[in-house]
Amino acid sequence: MPDRATILYIEDDPSSRQLIQRTLTFAGYRVLVAPCGLDGIDFAKRELPDLILMDMDLPDLSGREVTTRLRGDTRFHDTPIVALTGQNQTGDRERAIAAGLTGYLNKPIDIEKLPAQVAYYLRGGKDVADEVMLRRAQADYNQEVVSRLESKIRELERSNAELRRLDKVKDAFIQLTAHELRTPLTLIYGYSRLIQESPTLNQLRAQSTEFGSFVDGLVESIERMARVINEILTMARIASGRVDLALTTLNLGDVAERAIHQYEVVARQRNLSMRFEAGQWRLAVRADAELIELALHNLLGNAIKYTPDGGLINLMCRINVSSVQISVQDSGIGIDLADQKSIFERFYTANDTQLHSTSKTAFRGGGLGLGLSITRGIIEAHGGRIWVESTGRDERKLPGSTFFIELPLQARAGTTLRPLIAESFDGSDAAAAGH
């Protein structure tokens, strides 16, 4: 027996765990415990114990299943795995041995004898079983595992269907609520704009600046609220798979310019330089102008939010043989590798939400975590893809991030999407010319 051998005891009953742990620790062993089969497998792989004691009635996997799973790993081929169990029907022992257990100790355990029994298995001792019974037990066990797997799959399918149903209910609820909020908000916005522009307010402004700024603040907040509601509605539309693209032949450069234009003021205020070479963008594509503009708007908005004042934002376009690649590059805080997939999911924000404000343009302002999933929905509805490249997040070194959008210029085989057709405005073949 090695010095201070490590024993892992997998058992869901806390009092049994405590009793065995105390007894074996007292006998000089290092004892680890796990409360269920899955944890037991993880512990065993991490700690590589010299012997495993196994309760057979675990809440998740059975003791036999855990053993079969461990025996499949070469590191556990020779590890003694011993059942500590109340199961003492005819054939239980054979079934356990058929599943790969080394020994079988029946409960109630004789505490006095346990250390010696453990030492026996540690020295290589094994229980033997009747060959014929063992073969039958093996066949029964295989059947049992397969039918348990089948019922688990059915159970998962049922709960999956239920989760999908609940997800739809939730989407419908969000959409309905956003709709209901938008209607009165439109009225509130209309009235507040009337007040803002009324001659009476102008007179009041002359008397007291305070009153005017109250109304300006009110209008600004309503506009922000409307933006959030619109974002939710667009997301709900995309999530429900009902993105009806209003396809037109559009000039990609014009769309990009419109998206950039909306941020010119804030870029100046925050001393951000935005690079955009109109020449690269001389391309007509069939796409939904409003949605493509929204996608670019979201990416530029993020680049602005996550780049400190004085930084650089580059909006570029490259035309390949069968696709157009748009990139939004910033010199901002960057994105951790671990977050680079999740940020495209709904309501995912990589930063501490405490830093979030609904500001769309302040450094580290943030939103609901919907912008990128909306953008992805738009791009995928056009048959394209979106991804990000960044070496990681570092608020001091500012590694920056580059978001890429790739839109196909021809329909791919097997897709039902309407194709995006490229043609240059001056009549020559844009793809071949490589603009």
Q: Is 253 a binder of ligand ADP (CB under 6 A)?
A: no
Q: Is 343 a binder of ligand ADP (CB under 6 A)?
A: yes
Q: Is 372 a binder of ligand ADP (CB under 6 A)?
A: yes
Segment contacting ligand ADP (CB under 6 A): 48-56, 119-127, 169-177, 302-310? 302-310
Residue with tokens 């806390």: 14
Q: What x-and-dash track marks residues 126-165 binding ligand ADP by CB under 6 A?
A: ----------------------------------------
The nearer residue to ligand ADP, 134 or 368, going by C-beta atoms, is: 368
The nearer residue to ligand ADP, 69 or 360, going by C-beta atoms, is: 360
Tell me how far, at minimum, the Cβ of 229 lies from ligand ADP, in Å.
14
Q: Are residues 380 and 374 in contact, defined by beta-carbon separation less than 8 angstroms?
A: no
Q: Is 312 a binder of ligand ADP (CB under 6 A)?
A: no
Please calculate the CA angle 393-399-402 and round it to the nearest 5 degrees: 95
Residue 409 DSSP code: S
Q: Are residues 366 and 356 in contact, defined by beta-carbon separation less than 8 angstroms?
A: yes
Judged by CB under 6 A, the residue of 62, 234, 302, 323 near ligand ADP is: 302
In b/e form, how buried is each residue of 256-276, taking b as 16+ CB within 10 angstroms? Answer: bbebbeebeebbeebebebeb
Q: Is 106 a binder of ligand ADP (CB under 6 A)?
A: no
Segment contacting ligand ADP (CB under 6 A): 125-133, 134-142, 158-166, 371-379? 371-379
Q: What are residue 277's phi and psi, to 5 degrees?
A: -105, 105
Q: Is 303 a binder of ligand ADP (CB under 6 A)?
A: yes
Tell me how far, at minimum, the Cβ of 407 lies from ligand ADP, in Å.
19
Q: Are residues 105 and 151 in contact, defined by beta-carbon separation less than 8 angstroms?
A: no
Residue 60: how many CB atoms within 10 A of its CB? 14
The nearer residue to ligand ADP, 33 or 378, going by C-beta atoms, is: 378
Non-local (6+) Cβ contacts of 71 within 8 A are: 77, 81, 100
Q: Are strands 312-319 and 323-330 parallel, antiparallel or unpaired?
A: antiparallel
Tell me how far, at minimum, the Cβ of 243 lies from ligand ADP, in Å.
17
Residues 372 and 298: their CA atoms lie apart, in Å, by 7
Judged by CB under 6 A, the residue of 333, 378, 407, 409 near ligand ADP is: 333
Judged by CB under 6 A, the residue of 111, 243, 368, 421 near ligand ADP is: 368
Q: Is 383 a binder of ligand ADP (CB under 6 A)?
A: no
Tell me how far, at minimum, the Cβ of 203 lies from ligand ADP, in Å.
40
Helices (H), 198-251: 199-207, 209-239
Neighbouring C-alpha atoms within 13 Å toward the C-beta of 334: 15
Instruction: Give the amino acid at 129.
Output: A
Judged by CB under 6 A, the residue of 98, 330, 382, 408 near ligand ADP is: 330
Residues 385-404 contacting ligand ADP, CB under 6 A: 401
Judged by CB under 6 A, the residue of 351, 361, 410, 424 near ligand ADP is: 351
Residues 80 and 71: their CA atoms lie apart, in Å, by 10
The nearer residue to ligand ADP, 66 or 239, going by C-beta atoms, is: 239
Q: Is 49 a binder of ligand ADP (CB under 6 A)?
A: no
Number of residues forming the site for ligand ADP (CB under 6 A)? 22
Q: Is 238 a binder of ligand ADP (CB under 6 A)?
A: no
Residue 367 DSSP code: -
Q: Is 407 a binder of ligand ADP (CB under 6 A)?
A: no
Q: Is 34 helix (H, G, I), strand (E, B) or coil?
A: strand
Burial class (CB in 10 A: 0-12, 13-18, 19+), 146: exposed
Residues 289 and 83: their CA atoms lie apart, in Å, by 67
Residues that bind ligand ADP (CB under 6 A): 298, 302-303, 306, 330, 332-333, 335, 343, 348-351, 366-373, 401
